[in-house]
Each structure stands twice: as structure tokens, then as C-alpha cells.
Structure 1
Amino acid sequence: MGNVLCIGSVLWDVIGRSASVMRQGSDVPGRITQIPGGVALNIAMTLVRFGMKPALLSAVGRDVLGDVLIAECEGMGLDCTWLYRSEDLPTDRYMAIEGANGLIAAIADAHSLEAADDKILRPLKDGRLGSAEAPYAGLIALDGNLTETLLSKISRDPAFAAADLRVAPASPGKAERLQPFVTRPGAVLYVNREEAGILCQSDFADAPGAAAALVARGAKRAVVTDGGNACADASAEGLVSERPPEVLVTRVTGAGDTFMAAHMAAEAAGQDREAALSRALTAAARYVSGETPHD
């Protein structure tokens, strides 16, 4: 078993990138890649680069795409022992179009993960990794691609009661799914400024204000990003903030996952809040600039 569990989407990312500024209806030259992705997998891949040993809990189909995906994951040093393999559900995919002006459009086909529901959590309930009576007490990264119903169950499930639970939404459109974790003891929220606004039903001018508002609403801790603007980490112990390094942005898909994973790894290594935030911002900057490979 690894020293951190990554629960959520494990799929193929199909990304089309162009150096051109794009708008609706644009037809431009560029590059199309298919690489392992999904929030849980993106976090796990970054954790490996920081010397951690992640294990994946997700749904992957028993199809060719699934077999190749698992082979890729194992080749990167990820523990795939606990994956739920379905005979009748295909491996999920995510498709995005990125231009010089950022993300243009994306479609997430996570229907198999949603259909698998709580089957992906069986190892945490049947004694292999933990149970309600002896809950898993390690670090868990949880992504918001799970259904609203399942996320709500997890927020109350005694099998998660002892975990250091780090939570991230899949997108602003799914941010409301994380509402049960705002007041859950022990949960740390990783969101951007827009997602924080959705959770607080308010608009914020900056990340420090958004992070402080989440804590005021009952969150144990909130780490809020805001693109190239200052990022903030707020808790009852206070607030720390730092501006990310200025870099030329060449990609955006996966940047938030890289930030979260780098932050988790830094704290797992014993770094304080200021150092962990700085390390995470640097890792995310290197990723969006293209300096760090997505592998």
C-alpha cells in the first residue's frame, strides 16, 4: 500500500493545443495528445515526482484503453491494486481544447466513475485498507468528479473519520458538490477563487479574502488559488499568502492538481505552511510553463 490514497477520476486526457487565440468556431492548427489524466491521477503522478507512493481508488474499464492506462500508471510507480475494474463500463475520457488565450472548452466523460459509485471505496470499508471500526488514518486526496450523493456519503462516512482528507473540486461547475466538506472536521479544501465564491455564495476580490471566508463558514482549512494573483492558505491559526512566479503559460489543464499534490508532498515532508505554499506555487508555475512534463 502507498503512503497516500488518491480517490477519484483516473482516465485518458485528450488535449488539443494551439498557439493561436481561439474563439467559438475556430479551426486552427495545433497538437493533439492523449495522456493519462483525471484529477486523482494527475495528483498521484505529481506525488510520485516528489518521492511519495500513491495508491489509486477509482473505476477503470476492462477494455483496451483501461489495460493500457493501468500499464502506464504502474510504469510510473503508481499502486493500482485497489482499482475497481468493471466488465461493462468503458474507461473514462476527458477532452479539452486550449488556445493561446487559455482553456476554450472541455468535456469530461466520467460516466463510468459515476456509475461505479461506492464500489471504488470497498477497500476502505472491507478491512483491506480500513473499515468503519478501524478507519484508514493516512493521507487521502479526494477529487470532486464523484457524484454529489457519493461525496455527501463520504463526508459522513466513519471509514474516513481518521484520515487527513484533502479535497479538490473538478471544476467550478462541480464546486457545490463539496459543500458537505466545508464544515467536516479534518478536511482541507483546495479551491480557486471562483469555486470559493460558489461555496460561500459570494464574490471575492482576492484569494486571501476567499480563504478567510471559507474558514469563517466552518472550514478547518482552505487553500485558495487565483491564477497569477496571490494565493492564500487560511486556518484558525491564521493566514499566509504568496504570489506565484511569473511565467509564460503554455498549458492550463492539470495545473491545479499539480499545485495540490506539491503542497501535500511538501507538508508530508514536514515543511511549514509558508514553505509548502511556496513549493506548490513553484511546482504549478513550472507545470504551466511546460518545464515539467505531464507524464
Structure 2
Amino acid sequence: MTQEILCIGSVLWDVIGRTPHPMRVGSDEPGRITRLPGGVAMNIAMTLQRFGLRSALLTAVGRDREGDELLDDCAARGMNAKFVYRPADLPTDRYMAIEGQEGLIAAVADAHTLEAAGDAILAPLEDGRLGSARAPYTGTIALDGNLTRALLDDIATRDSFARADLRVAPASPGKARRLAPLMGHAGATLYVNREEAGYLTEAQYDSAGTAARGLLDAGATRVLVTDGGSFAADGHHQRGVIQTPCPPVRVRRITGAGDTFMAAHIAAELAGNSPTVALEMAQKTAAQYVSGEDL
């Protein structure tokens, strides 16, 4: 492991039911149900690990059996979990999803412990262990939108985040608007899909490229926009927008694809690749994930 990246946000158990059959409301189909470590911050950390990058987790995990098992898994994967906040009176968070032939059918994210923990998870960035207001952390931070809107508002102007290379994901379309305050952060790169870009700017876009331009026009410094199996775009307020296509792929899973794209892009850039090459590598890695090559 060559570099430590802070992953701030949800670390929980994913419970995913997958079936190859068509699904609709009320459907009851045969398939597979799995439980595995998940959450946006965890998904990003796991993908970074594949590229030889070590992650430190800043999150909240309950002091229950599920929490112990989750942190044991993190340790086994080589992640640094010593900064994890563990409240005694809250359970470990969970995410539940159903995926069918059409893709994601429905999902419920129970991140109440993370939300209740608030800025307690950020203590290492304030008390000198990782940084402070006077000596801000200067490395890369992957931040997810499962934090509360109030905390994300605060992070946007906190001195302890002022010098970070801040990479931000919304966690879900329904939470995309929470990222609005971070659009003005000079060091922030936002990773969203086309739908989430529309929520952030109260507009509709027909492509990743137009969505990236819309976000830049709305004040973002830099954005990465995906659009399923179509083109992805990288928009920067100074150099404009570039796009690359997604490789053809047979979709076998959806949950975690955006997190995989984000982590692969971060790894590619930290390795010194150009914006175009980094975007191509992220598209390829996400396509491989969606195809289920490692299932």
C-alpha cells in the first residue's frame, strides 16, 4: 500500500437481492441474497485497495456484533480503522437493495447512526491526529453525501478541509442536493450521474457532457458526470469538458458502480495519468464491475 486516502462517510453492511428475472411492484422471484461490506466510503476504499492505495476510514460503526464483524473485515482488507467513531448506544448501519433484469428496482439506506454521530466522526481532522484548523489535512479525501446537510454545509467552510483534495459523491440521487454548498469549494471535485446533476442545478440534461457544463455554469470547480452505459464527462472550470464512451457491457449488478468509478478515477489521477486517460480508466473499471467479472 503506497498512499493513505481518507474515506469519510458510510461504512455499513449491504444486503443485496439479485435476480435475472424481470421485476415489478409485488414481484417474488428466485435469486441470490448476499451480505457484504458496503456504503459509499467503504466501496471507494475497497476499490482504492485494488489499485494499491491504502484508505483510512472516518465513519461511525456501532458497538454491536455486526459492527465488530464489519471492522474485522476492514482490518483484514488492510484498511486503517483506528479513527472510526463507535457510539455505544447506536446500531451499525445497513443498506438493502433489490436488483432485477432492469437494474436497481428499489433500495433503502439506513444510515441513521452516521447521521446521528454528526461531526464526531471528523475529530481526527480537528484534534491534530490527522490535521487541525491551523494545520489542515492536505491529502486526498473521499467524502460521501450520507452525512447530514448541516454537516456538509459546515465542511464546505471548515478551515480543516480548506487545503484538501476533496472528492465528493452524493450517495444517491435523493441526496444530491446536499452537495450544493460544496460546489463552491476550491478544492472539490464532484462525482455525480446525469440525474444527480439535474437535481443539483434544477435542470434536465440529455448527456453527461451537457450536465457537466451545467454544473460548471452553476459554480462548480470540477465535476465528473456518468451516464450509465453512455459517455462520461470530466468538466473543469478552466479547461472545459472532455468525454469518453463506456465500453460495451452486460449488466449483472448496479449497486456500487458509481463508487467504483470514483475510486478508479482517483487512483488513475494519483498515478499521474492525464485527465483523458484517467476518465477512460475509470469507465473501464466501472464497466468491469457492472459486468460482475469478480463475482
Identify whether the pair has TM-score above 0.5, normalized to the shorter chain: yes
Q: How does 1:194-205 map to 2 (within 5 A)?
A: 194-205=195-206
- Work out the CA distance in 1 between the residues paired with 2:75 and 2:271: 24
Cα offsets for 1:204-247 (capped at 9, x unmatched):
11000110111112111110000011110011212110111011
- Work out the CA distance in 2 between the residues paired with 1:41 and 1:150: 19
Of 236, 244, 247, which aligns to 2:246? 244
Matched to 1:16, the amino acid is G
Matched to 1:162, the amino acid is R
Q: Return structure 1 stretches of 4+ with deviation > 3 angstroms.
A: none
- Work out the CA distance in 1 between the residues paired with 2:217 and 2:108: 34
Structure 1 position 292, deviation (Å) = 3.1
Tell me which residue corresponds to 2:289. 287
Q: TM-score, normalised by structure 1?
A: 0.98
Q: How does 1:48-197 map to 2 (within 5 A)?
A: 48-197=49-198
- Work out the CA distance in 1 between the residues paired with 2:255 and 2:294: 13
- Work out the CA distance in 1 between the residues paired with 2:42 and 2:83: 14
- Work out the CA distance in 2 between the residues paired with 1:246 and 1:182: 32
Aligned residues: 293
Question: What 5-or-longer segments of structure 2 have no aligned partner?
Answer: none
Tell me which residue corresponds to 1:259. 261
Tell me which residue corresponds to 1:4. 5
Structure 1 position 257, deviation (Å) = 0.2
- Work out the CA distance in 2 between the residues paired with 1:292 and 1:207: 27
Matched to 1:187, the amino acid is A
- Work out the CA distance in 2 between the residues paired with 1:237 and 1:217: 16
Structure 1 position 186, deviation (Å) = 1.1
Cα offsets for 1:6-46 (capped at 9, x unmatched):
00000000000001010000001000000000000000000
**1:272 aligned onto 2:259:** no
Three-state SS of the structure 1 residue aligned to 2:61 is strand
Three-state SS of the structure 1 residue aligned to 2:49 is helix
- Work out the CA distance in 2 between the residues paired with 1:238 and 1:111: 38
Q: Is the 8 A contact 1:2 1:79 kept in 2?
A: no
Structure 1 position 2, deviation (Å) = 5.4
Matched to 2:69, the amino acid is V
Three-state SS of the structure 2 residue aligned to 1:292 is coil
Three-state SS of the structure 1 residue aligned to 2:86 is strand
Tell me which residue corresponds to 2:210. 209
Three-state SS of the structure 1 residue aligned to 2:82 is coil
Question: What 5-or-longer segments of structure 1 have no aligned partner?
Answer: none
Structure 1 position 85, deviation (Å) = 0.9
Tell me which residue corresponds to 1:32. 33
- Work out the CA distance in 1 between the residues paired with 2:258 and 2:130: 27
Matched to 2:208, the amino acid is A
- Work out the CA distance in 1 between the residues paired with 2:200 and 2:32: 36
- Work out the CA distance in 1 between the residues paired with 2:270 and 2:83: 22
Matched to 1:254, the amino acid is G
Taking every aligned residue pair, what percent have the same amino acid on both sides?
61
Q: Root-mean-square deviation (CA), in Å? A: 1.0
